[in-house]
Amino acid sequence: MASEVRCWCRHCKAELPPDHTGPCPKCGKLGKDCKVAVSAVVAPRASLRARKKRKGFGKFMIESIQGWFPSGDPKLKKGVDIVRIIDREKKEKHHIVTDLATGEVIHEEHEPLSQHKSQVKHLRKNVKKPKQNKKQRGVK
Ligand SMILES: [Zn+2]
pLDDT of amino acid 9: 95
State mean pLDDT over 28-34.
92
Distance 5 CA to ligand 1 centre (A): 18
Q: Which residues surround ligand 1, an ion (CB under 5 A)?
A: 9, 11-12, 14, 24, 26-27
pLDDT of amino acid 132: 56
Distance 26 CA to ligand 1 centre (A): 5
Distance between CA atoms of residues 92 and 110, nearest Å? 7
pLDDT of amino acid 14: 95
* SS3 state of residue 117: helix
Distance between CA atoms of residues 137 and 50, nearest Å? 74
Taking the domains of the chain in order of start, what are their residue ranges?
1-39, 43-119
pLDDT of amino acid 55: 63
* SS3 state of residue 68: strand
pLDDT in tens, 38-77: 554 444 445 566 666 666 555 677 788 888 888 777 777 7
